[in-house]
Structures are given as C-alpha cells and as structure tokens.
C-alpha cells in the first residue's frame, strides 16, 4: 500500500466512525478532496454543501458543480448570508469568524434534518495559524476529519492524486476574495468583482501560478510569485500596471497600482498578541 493510500484509508476510517456527513465544499483542494473521498466511501450517507456569494470566485462554484455531476454527489447550493451581516462587512481582524458563523448557521439545520455531522476541510497545517473561523466551527460542532487523521496539506494533495482528481490536486491555495481587502476596509461586492477581474486578467496574461490583487488604503497592489515578477522587464511592468489601472477606472475608481512579490495574508492586519 502506498503512503497516499494509507493516508486515504486513515481518513476513511475517521469518516466511517462519523456516519452521515454534510461536507462544506468551497471548491479548493482540501474540501473537494474530502468530499470526493467521503462520497466514495460512504455513498448515500453524504451530502455536499456549497455556498455562493460575491466572495466566492465563480470558477470555484463551476468546479464544485462539475465534480458533483461526475461523482454523483447530492449537492446543495446555498447563500451563506454573510453579506447580510454588518459585522462581516466591516472587515475586522476576525472577519472569518463571522463568515463561518453565518455559513455553519445555514448548514447546520440542513445537516441536522438529515441526521448528519457537518465537516470542514481544515487540515493539520491550518492549526499553526490564527484562524478565527475555527472558533465558529467549534461553536457549531463542526468536525475536521483531516485533523483527526493527522493529515497536513501535503497529505491532502497526495490523497487527491490517489483519487485521480487531476488538476484539483495541484490547485494553488486561494482563500476567499474578501481576504484581498485590507483589514478595516469595508467588504463591498463591487470591489470583490474588481479584485477577481484583475486576478483573472493578470493570471491569464502572465500565466502566473500565484496572483493576488490586494485592495489597500493606498491603492491596488498586484502580488506575483517571485519567478513571474522577475520575468517582467521595466516596459512590461509599466504596461501591466497601466492595464490594471484601466480595469479599475472602468469599474468607477482611479487608483494607483503597484507590483510586489506575493506575501501570504499581506492584506490581513492581525491584532497584537493574537
């Protein structure tokens, strides 16, 4: 048995002990892999829950829908309602707590009616960071099978390859679009649409594996992986920033644009001592 097969079996054993499950599927590699293995292992005892909102890239929803058809999932699409919550829209440092609180509050009644336990795709590596959303999960009795099986991000990708999930196994990390908005700047659907348009344009133009469009008080910052950034000469940099500025202007606002090396979570202003 390969290492990936052993990891998949360990995860499957955790799922066997839970019984009926409702998997919160965002469309990223973690939750999508969990949903796939859960359905293949538990069959009709599984239900997949995917939330749509202005903060969820449409390609993530398309990915979930396509896999649901291919795998035969029982999929329910819902609106988590976080944009109706002024605490979330205010974009405090613990914004993710309010996001997940709204999400799980919508999922839990559906899961409970089916006698199912809500599952997340949180993996062991996530525990090393400050993640307010984990408190919301605790409040709602959400379980994290990867954590229970001792599986980290590398293990998740290994399981995804073992399940023949193809390009899903190699998906780069891509938090929700609201993570691109600097802490304290209100979350606005139009701004999220701008962020997504810029990231799509730059990613396609440069074929860059990592692109983040950060909305800061000082303007827009497009962050690229170092290899992609280093390939840009002075003229290409000027052309790229001009095009991004034009996209922003077309959406109703002139903003200065800068290019920088990617830094994880750079729009997040973490409170001291947290």
For 96-120, the pLDDT digits (tens) are 999 999 999 999 999 999 999 999 9
Is 177-261 CATH 1.10.3470? no
pLDDT at 270: 58
Of 43-52, 55-64, 132-141, 250-259, the one with minimum mean pLDDT is 250-259
Q: In what order do the strands lie in the sheet with 211-216?
A: 211-216, 219-224, 257-261
* pLDDT of residue 24 exceeding 60: yes
Q: Which fold has domain 3-170?
A: Rossmann fold (3.40.50)
- Distance from C-alpha of 248 to C-alpha of 23, rounded to nearest angstrom: 36
Domain boundary assignment for the chain? 3-170, 177-261
* pLDDT of residue 54 exceeding 80: yes
When comparing pLDDT for 28 and 175, which is higher?
28
- Tell me whether strands 21-24 and 117-119 are parallel, antiparallel or unpaired: parallel
pLDDT at 129: 81
Contact by Cβ (8 Å): 157, 183: no
- Distance from C-alpha of 273 to C-alpha of 44, rounded to nearest angstrom: 45
Average pLDDT for the chain:
94
What do you get for the CA distance between the two ends of the chain, in Å?
42
* pLDDT of residue 4 exceeding 60: yes
SS3 37: helix
pLDDT at 272: 46
- Distance from C-alpha of 75 to C-alpha of 49, rounded to nearest angstrom: 6
**Among the residues of the chain, which ranges form H helices?**
3-18, 29-42, 58-71, 86-89, 95-113, 133-139, 145-148, 153-162, 189-206, 226-230, 234-250
Average pLDDT in the 237-255 region?
93
pLDDT at 175: 87
Within the chain, what is the greatest distance between any pair of CA atoms?
60
pLDDT at 271: 54
Average pLDDT in the 129-145 region?
94
Q: How confident is the model at residue 31 (pLDDT cuts 50, 70, 90)?
A: very high
Share above pLDDT 90 across residues of the chain, in percent, rounded to a whole number:
90
173-210, pLDDT tens digit by residue?
Answer: 888 999 999 999 999 999 999 999 999 999 999 999 99
For 117: left if phi > 0, alpha if psi spans -120 to 50, otherwise beta; the answer is: beta
Q: How confident is the model at residue 269 (pLDDT cuts 50, 70, 90)?
A: low
pTM across the whole model: 0.93
């Amino acid at each position: 048995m390969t290492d990936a097969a052993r990891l998949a079996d360990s995860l499957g054993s955790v799922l066997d002990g839970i019984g009926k499950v409702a998997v919160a599927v965002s469309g990223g590699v973690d939750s999508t892999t969990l949903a796939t293995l859960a359905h293949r292992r538990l069959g009709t005892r599984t239900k997949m829950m995917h939330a749509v909102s202005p903060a969820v890239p449409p390609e993530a929803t398309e990915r979930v829908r396509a896999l649901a058809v291919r795998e035969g999932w029982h999929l329910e699409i819902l609106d988590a309602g976080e944009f109706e919550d002024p605490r979330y829209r205010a974009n405090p440092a613990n914004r993710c707590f309010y996001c997940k609180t709204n999400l799980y509050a919508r999922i839990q009644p559906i899961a409970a009616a089916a006698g199912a336990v809500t599952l997340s795709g949180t993996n062991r590596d996530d525990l090393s960071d400050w993640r307010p959303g984990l408190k919301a999960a605790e409040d709602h009795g959400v379980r994290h099978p990867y954590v229970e099986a001792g599986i980290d991000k590398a293990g998740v990708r290994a399981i995804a390859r073992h399940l023949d999930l193809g390009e899903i196994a190699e998906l780069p990390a891509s938090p929700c679009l609201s993570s691109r908005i600097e802490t304290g700047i209100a979350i606005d659907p139009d701004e999220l649409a701008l962020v997504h348009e810029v990231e799509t344009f730059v990613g396609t133009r440069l074929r860059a594996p990592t692109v983040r469009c950060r909305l800061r008080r000082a303007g827009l910052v497009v962050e690229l992986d170092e290899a992609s950034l280093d390939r840009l000469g002075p003229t290409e940099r000027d052309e790229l920033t001009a095009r991004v500025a034009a996209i922003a202007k077309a959406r109703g606002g002139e903003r200065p644009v800068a290019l920088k090396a990617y830094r994880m979570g750079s729009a997040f202003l973490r409170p001291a001592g947290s």
